[in-house]
Structure 1
Amino acid sequence: MAGITWHYVLKFIITGDAGVGKSSLLVRLTDQRFLANPDPTLGVEFGSKLIEIPEEGKVVKLQCWDTAGTESFRSITRSYYRGAAGCLLVYDVTSRKSFINAKSWLADVREHADPHLTCILVGNKVDLCDEEASGSSNRRREVSTDEADEWARKEGLLFLEASAKSGNNVDSAFEKASCDILHKIKHGVFDDDRSPGVKLSKPTNGSVALNQASNKQGCCS
């Protein structure tokens, strides 16, 4: 991996109710595999990955903190919100309660995180909706795409539905949020390399390499 470097390090937090698939999304991003029955997160878990943002001509290193979704760990996880540049606010499309509770998680993030943080609402487990259509699932969609999209727009959030199981839109969620952060850096919203969640890396050889294949689809549209 010699010579591998990046332009920015971006700190992300992943938050939402327990059981919505936060850990599975992180493992899908970092290891490209699916955890069917992950152990409950105790406090926080960490993962990182290099991704390419072609529209900005940048490679960024994501440092992702997966936070516990239970009330008993809430005071601990709040400390990880500080300085984050990006947030995945996750709910389960088959659990209306997790969508309703996303409002409380968002309020927490906005109280403790950088006011300029980019937040993307992610509706996870859409694979269960496909199984429902084929008659092989005993769980039904409880949150429509339109309802979630409308709430996200109202709150000024980005929005995607995804599946940690299939991998659908998982990379895209992080890429879309990263693209928005880079846009903010370019326009001076984030204080380049002085905001805690944004660290500038200066390549030593004048070039940046990527050690993994990346999704070339546009994220800034």
Structure 2
Amino acid sequence: MSNIQAAAAAAAAAVPEITATFKLLLIGDSNVGKSSILLRFTDDHFLPPEETSATIGVDFKVKYLEVDSQRYKLTIWDTAGQERFRTLTSSYYRGAQGVILVYDVSSRESFDNLDTWFEELKTYCSGEDVVKMVIGNKIDKESERQVSRKEGAEYARKHRTLFLECSAKTKIGVQQAMEELVNKIVETPGLWRKSSPSKGTVYVNDVPSGIAGGCAC
């Protein structure tokens, strides 16, 4: 075995085995920054609004995250916020372990519309124990803020969900939000733990075959 092959084998052995695959969903009105949050978390990149386009249907990205020395594969689905795509995206709620409801802190309308998204979540999501998080995005636009942090936190408390504010533009809060969501899922083993017939490793809700990945940011 060459030195390069040996190094590659050692590197592969050092990577922890995947404990489980979690399906996460981003929902909310169009233009609240769902695609930007996804791109910031997975690629640590931000595209200015003038360089982005609305998500058509559903896109997804994959990210690996370690929690307490365990490695989890995240398939993160970014759904279209436009009404005409609702029937297309409804099927993607099924099997989700975590759902992030996003609003824009500088848009009162996007915050008020969270009620509609919660109703849709209740209608289409198959798991009653799915972990939910409300995120107020675009806190970099503080001078244009229409929804206070206190109001967002109270809304999340009323719906018994996690809550954070973030800015996909400046990175503030994005990583923390995803880590808190995944930690909560890990703490709820009944939501995802299914033993394999041959091993104890868990693989749930992987990307459906035939679906191409990529985020239309």
Normalising by structure 2, we get a TM-score of: 0.80
Alignment of 1:109-188 (within 5 A): 109-113=121-125, 114-129=127-142, 132=143, 140-185=144-189
**Contact 2:96–2:130, Cα closer than 8 Å, also in 1:** yes
Q: C-alpha separation between the residues in 2 aligned to 1:142 and 1:158?
A: 21
Report if aligned partners of 2:21, 2:202 keep a CA contact under 8 Å in 1.
yes
Structure (1 or 2) with the larger CA radius of gyration: 2
Give the aligned partner of residue 200 of structure 1.
202
Paired with 2:169 and 2:194, the residues of 1 have a C-alpha distance of 35
Identity score, percent: 40
Provide the alpha-carbon RMSD of the alignment. 1.5
Q: What do the CA deviations read for 1:69-104 (whole angstroms, capped 9, x no partner)?
A: 000000111110011000110000000000010111
- Look up the SS of the partner of 1:61 in the other structure: strand
Q: TM-score, normalised by structure 1?
A: 0.79
Give 1:59 deviation, angstroms. Answer: 1.9
- Provide the aligned length of Structure 1 versus Structure 2: 183
Matched, 1:41 2:42: no
After superposition, the Cα gap between the structure-2 partners of 1:191 and 1:175, relative to the gap in structure 1 and judged at 3 Å, is: closer
Matching residue within 72, 96, 100 for 2:108:
96
4+ runs of 1 displaced by more than 6 Å?
A: none
Name stretches of at least 5 consecutive residues in structure 1 with no aligned partner: 133-139, 202-221
**Kept after mapping to 1: 8 A contact 2:140/2:167:** yes
Matched, 1:53 2:67: yes
Secondary structure of 2:65's aligned partner: strand
SS of alignment partner, residue 142 of structure 1: coil
Residue number in structure 1 paired with 2:3: none
CA distance in 2, matches of 1:193, 1:75: 30
* Distance in 2 separating the partners of 1:122 and 1:184: 21
Deviation at 1:191, TM superposition (A): 5.1
1:7 and 2:7 equivalent?
Answer: no
